[in-house]
Structure 1
Amino acid sequence: MDAKFLYVDPATGEAIASVAFASADDAYRAISATRKAFDHGSTSNPKSWAGFDSPKRRCCHA
């Protein structure tokens, strides 16, 4: 799917972003991949979510 949504700044009328539309299948695949990474991430890998301690995880949820 190549459809795009053009985001326009309401204050200026200027186009500031072009965002690709996603299908339900795209969303499902993204959510599944995120869940898999979270559930199976290595705690020894500091770049994986499972490798973050609680304070670091909390900072990401403002």
Structure 2
Amino acid sequence: MKNYKQIFANLLNDESGQDLVEYALVVAMVAGIALTASGSLSTIITGAITSVGGKITAAIGS
């Protein structure tokens, strides 16, 4: 039983691989932000293109 306690204590104190986990969390957070922003950005770009298309159509029709 003491051996299991020692193994568990060693796991809690082991910091190897911590940097990799932190970098993975940062990359996941940046990817999430990029995906969220891309949805908003595509809506803005679509609206701008529609507006320009309407103005061109109005100018040609006049």
TM-score for both structures, normalised by structure 2: 0.32
TM-score for both structures, normalised by structure 1: 0.32
Q: Which has the higher helix share?
A: 2
Q: Which has the higher strand share?
A: 1
Whose Rg is larger? 2
